[in-house]
Amino acid sequence: MRARDKAAVSALRTTLAALDNAEAVPVDEAELRGVALEQSPVGVGATEAARRELSERSVVDVVRAEAAERLEVAAQLTAPAQADRVAQLRAEAAVLVRFLDGPGTA
């Protein structure tokens, strides 16, 4: 990371965001409409919701899906002008696959 590996930084940032999204708990629509403004909770942590804890298998599935998505998009980009973007997507997918292969290869 210190070498400013842009592909690794980009892949890891978006994958961490995907993991955060996977941990989110769905909000009931009734909860969104149910309380008047003056009755809404106030204070630090008043609106915090417990997050799901992902299993190791779920984390691997999310990372694998992120890598597959990059490879799929790279395969769809065929114009010569998009060659740089294709190379970037493939490099990001390779970074994620290295993490899936094991701790000694990352």
Residues 55-83 pLDDT 10s = 999 999 999 999 999 999 999 998 999 99
**15-41: average pLDDT:** 74
Which two tokens mark 17?
């965001």
Asked if residue 30 is part of any domain, the answer here is no
Q: Report the C-alpha gap between 95 and 87 in whole angstroms.
A: 12
Asked if residue 102 is part of any domain, the answer here is yes
Query: In terms of residue numbers, what domain contains 8?
Result: 1-24+51-106
Asked if residue 31 is part of any domain, the answer here is no
Q: Report the C-alpha gap between 2 and 59 in whole angstroms.
A: 25
Asked if residue 59 is part of any domain, the answer here is yes
Which two tokens mark 58?
């779920």
Q: Which pTM was predicted?
A: 0.73
Q: Report the C-alpha gap between 25 and 48 in whole angstroms.
A: 11
Asked if residue 93 is part of any domain, the answer here is yes
Q: Which of 7, 103, 6, 21 is nearest to 65 (CA)?
A: 21
DSSP state at residue 48: -
